Structures are given as C-alpha cells and as structure tokens.
Amino acid sequence: MKDIVLLLLLHTLLARLGNAQRSILDLPQHHESCSREQSRTARRLVQTHILLPASAASVPMSSDCPFQPNLDRYREHEIHGKTKTYRGHWQCPYSGKVFKTERYLDFHLQRFWSQKNGVNASECLASWCDVLGCEDSSTNKRPLTGTKTNEERHLEHKCRAVLHSCFPPTSGVSARHLQDQIFETVCSKSIRSEKVRRKQKQQHHAQHMSAFTVLWYILVIVTTLATAVFYICYYLQRVDGQVDLDLVCRQRAKKGTKFF
C-alpha cells in the first residue's frame, strides 16, 4: 500500500514539474519578439530562392539587403549552437547540455548565449515571412491572374522594393534579370500564400458560423420540445386530478354524503 502511495506521489510530482517547465516557456517575459521557428523557415527560403540563384549568376548582393547572412539574428545559433544526437535530442555545443526538443534548446540559447550573436546581427527574418511566403506549401509558380486587392498590391510593392535594395538595377543587366527571376519565384509565391491564408481564414470563419448556427438551432429545438413536454405533463396532471375529483364526488353522492 505504501509503495502505491509513493508511486502516486512521484507521478504527481513529475507531472507538476513538467507543467512548470512548460509554463516557464510560455511566460510573457520569455517570449522573443522575433520568432525563431518562422526565422528558420524564412532562412531556408532565402537560401533557396535568393542566395543560391545570386551565387549561381555571380551577382553580388548589396550591403543594404536585409537578407545578408551576417545580418541574420539567429544565424550563429542555428549553425554553431545546435547539434542533434543519435537519440533525436538536441545538444548545445557551448555548454554541452542536452535537451529533448529544439524549443528547449532555443530557450537555453536565448537565456545564456545571446552574446554569441554578432553585434550587427539584428535582422529578424521572420518579419519577412509575408514577402517570402513562409506558410505557402504550393509548388505552382504560374503568374497570378485576376484582380489584385490592395493588400496584394502592397505586398508586391514591398517585395519589389526589398529586391531593389538587394540587387540594384544600376548593377547591370544580370542584376535586373536576377531580380525579375526572384520576383517571379518569391513575390508571386508570397501573394499566393496571402490568398491561401485569407481563404483559409474565411473557410474557418464560415465553419465556425455554421457550427454556431447548428448549435443554436439544436438549442431552440430542445427548448421548444422541453417546453411542450412540460405543458403536456402539466395538462395531463390537471386532467387526471379533475377526473379523480369527479369520481370522489360521484361516489359520495351515491352514498348520500354531503361533499364540502
């Protein structure tokens, strides 16, 4: 019996410790203004659609470009601050500590090793996710057709502006051709991504409204049926009571007794 109690206490203690550890990561003071997860996605897109094509075309990138690798806020942590063990855990080479998930390692790097990032590494790649199309899973790269909204026009201008800063047209014909190529693969993709997100949001809102409507109708029907059943039971009870009273009166009238 004592063993069972000890096991239950140990299980409760471990559960509380796990909840405490999760709550630490969710505290507002531990939230970073720049999302590391979105920055990782943006970094892969920059490497694939901007840095590699520029290197293949031998077009230099301007120092004003926010996609310069030395400006990436978390590049040092991602390259030199993480190793994955054979058990699937994550290890910090700076301290040697091992963590179960990458999120815990990110929290460790944020708290103790933020000084490893370069002084000029202040660019948050996550802030460019709307331009890069981080949430777009489509591989279709055909040009868009149809009327564009103001939001899409703004996104297109923002994408074109950042490409101008990275590859100025004054750099030559190859820079202009590379800019057009990246615009087709990145900017159009980001606009499609914005359309997909807006469509998903509308579908989610429609599903939410339809579910709410169904619940409302169910509530109205249940309330109506309950009210009807209540009044039917009340009516039957009154009728049954009146019948019993009439029977008593008849029985007393037959016996010649006076009913008060």
pLDDT in tens, 82-111: 999 988 899 999 999 999 999 999 999 999
- State which amino acid sits at residue 129: C
Query: 3-state SS of the chain: helix, strand, coil percent to 5?
Result: 70, 5, 25
Helix axes 2-26, 102-112, angle to 10 degrees: 60
What are the start-end ranges of the E strands in the chain?
A: 83-84, 90-91, 98-99
For the chain, the average pLDDT equals 79
Q: Where are the domains of the chain?
A: 1-31
Helix (H, G, I), strand (E, B) or coil at 253: helix
Tens-digit pLDDT profile for residues 170-227: 888 999 999 999 988 888 766 655 555 555 566 666 666 677 777 888 888 988 898 9
Sheet holding 98-99, edge to edge: 83-84, 90-91, 98-99
Look up the pTM and report it.
Answer: 0.61
